[in-house]
Structure 1
Amino acid sequence: MARLFGTDGVRGLANKDLTAELALELSVGAAHVLGEAGAFDGGRPLALVGRDTRASGEFLEAAVVAGLASAGVDVVRVGVVPTPGLAFLVNDRNADLGVMLSASHNPMPDNGIKFFSRGGVKLDDFLEDAIEARLGEEWERPTGAGVGRVTDDLGAVESYVAHLVSSLGSEGSLDGLKIVLDCANGASSMTGPAAFETQGAEVIAIHNTPDGENINENCGSTHMGDLQKRVVAEGADLGLAFDGDADRCLACDANGELIDGDQILAILALSLKEERKLHSDTVVATIMSNLGFINAMKAHDIRVDSTKVGDRYVLESMNANGFALGGEQSGHVIMSEFATTGDGVLTGLHLAARMKETGKSIAELGAVMHRLPQVLINVRDVDKLRAGIDPQIQSAVSAANQELGDQGRVVLRPSGTEPVVRVMVEASTEEHAQKVADELAAIVKERVSL
């Protein structure tokens, strides 16, 4: 049976895969597992519950709150909040547990549940497995005064905005910058514009009118077209796009050209190194980061610690080694001085601040790295485990890497949830990358097809 928890909580089609009943049981399981693990700091445990703007978040929130309160946990509903905002509030409010209802950049019909423990950190795998193992288990229910109480604190989000603003120091750090924000009709629709305006930027917000159904719909970090056009039309200095729960940020320059997560990570790495805040002169990235990023960091004497794909693996390396910065090509950037998880609005603020500090455009800053053409092919209906050990596939990958030399590379990665192998090839030209990727995809299909 497949593991219920993925790389970022439990996610699926709301009211079909992710039902109210499942949400309730997961919440009860989390309360019991964390309590038994000593994660609650004595007395009655306290949980914060937040959600993004999806319509399904309303009934799932009700189920989660019911589950936690029935298990004797006091619950504070903080309403619509970015995922990193909930993580911050769990730490700021000294809560024992946080529950976020969001499917991030996924389409509106999906939703998800992710748990945060004390300090606003995501749960380790063994705790998630323990929660999953408790589903359907009989348990002794508290009664009377033993049940949890439920309250609302919709003003808590203002504390998160104040935290974002304070990360740049005094207010007004972005005076003179004209910035377009694409809020993806999601959780940043209020917090994003508020933070940038407080710091003095002239803000033009788009896709910032959520109605429960339009989150991520042809907007945000997965659909950059509207943002790119609007930046050019407005003569803005910078465009920033968040996803539905605002844990990602991508950018575009004054000409509407994309600035991806690797470039963002490179810009921030150089900034932190100048400030002597880049611990061990190391930045954490995944194996899917562009080779151009790795080459740029090498040229500036910055080491890249490569992890498996997924922000949780980036965060594991950062926590284990005390690194200050890490992220993914998707725009998931973690700045450990200010956040325990990826934070799109925080990332955008610090990008804009770097522009002000240096007097350079985002295009000039992004030119620190030359992005090599990258081709990704998903080879479907294959035995992804055999692909990693098949001698002919491994031989073909080795030969391709030798052919590409220091001007490219090959990465074969099994999907975490599907019978799919992802073939990623980088080369000096798009044509060369496509040719090598097509050849390797054909070999994978031939050798390990189901």
Structure 2
Amino acid sequence: MGDPCEWPSALRLAAALVLESPAPMWLAWGDALALLANDACGALLPSPGDRRPGAPAAEAWGDAWDALRPAALRALDGRGSRVDELALPGAGGAAQAWATFAFAPLRDDAGRVHGLLCTVQDVSATVAARRSLRESEAAAARGTAQTQETAERYRLALLSTNDAIWDWNMADGHVIWNQAVQTLFGHQFDATSADWWLEHIHPEDRPRIDSTIHAVIDSQGSSWSGEYRFLRADGSYAEIFDRGTVLRDAEGRARRMIGAMLDLSEQRATRAALQESERLFRTLFESIDEGFCVIEFLDGPHGPMSDYVHVLANPAYAANAGIEDVVGQRVRDMVPLEAEGWIEIYRQVLLEGQPIRFERELEHTGRFLELAALRIEPPERRQVAVLFQDITERHRAEVALRDMNDTLERRVASELERHARMEEALRQSQKMEAVGQL
């Protein structure tokens, strides 16, 4: 993936979202699809070592990549995609887990798709609940003594998942929910009807969902999935991904359908907020007249934090400082004769965490700058943001004014001295005249 200092801003923002997200997320970048995964996602990888930054995604996901690759290619083609309930081997050979992967294209600063962003949803509890239900049905059909124990496992599985689990009995039309339907949407989790569920789907989505679910039921299909908006008790709508499995009798007639509603609202709101934040930042970043940059301290031959590199700079940087194409450049390479002074100023900001304002000449270009600098949190990032403007003309005017005042003061002093000498000479002349009269 290269030096993070040289990453496009879109990649840096996406990487920050991945690393700071509590939900499992990962991204892949470049032709090799170099992987960057957060800690929550690391638990789903075949082994902890596979989450090292820059590892090829195909290598990191191991055998699971064969199933993930088609969806990843669709994302690289600019289309969102998903892989539902993929079986994964647990870390260190632990029990198998299941996860749903949602892929989105990741674009560079020029708008070209150069990678992908993936949100991972651990659906092990949902799959376990569905398995427990199938076990319960099989046990009931065989009339074994394990029916009660299996039903209890199913009940506990329903309580343990955050998804809204539904159990539709097609004989009487009743739908049984787990407690998550109240936690997520505010509805009582008493038995309802299939019509109640359908009525709570957004009117624009309802015909499509009604059609697709009955198409699966009527065509001997076994699984269904769909996305729609679902009405909460407070009148707002949740963004839902729903998936169900049809259970049939020996003659193939649909008897029950078990499913899970996954609330995508927070994920989509987070993604929308990130996109809006990035848009606003980019607009401000590119439109302000002041120069702006983010520098990151590096260790080097001169010691710890003895150099810094520009990781971000706006178009006005060159106009104010007189130096172009600074992103990726180290200050010791840019202005070697005066680098030490700049390093010392910004290093103090980084170490002490106190914002500063100051004026200083950039001797390399002869520009006088007015600057403000502050530390970017957390300190471990070793970054300082700098906002500045060219005040060369103002500085020259101030110098000229001081010179003029100095010249004026010297002239006034000289004139006063000359006047004093003339007065003294006049007094001496008057004294001599008085002596002559005597």
What is the TM-score of this pair, normalised by structure 2? 0.24
What is the TM-score of this pair, normalised by structure 1? 0.23
**Does 1 or 2 have the higher relative contact order (CA < 8 Å, sep 6+)?**
1
When you count strand as a share of all residues, which structure comes out higher? Answer: 2
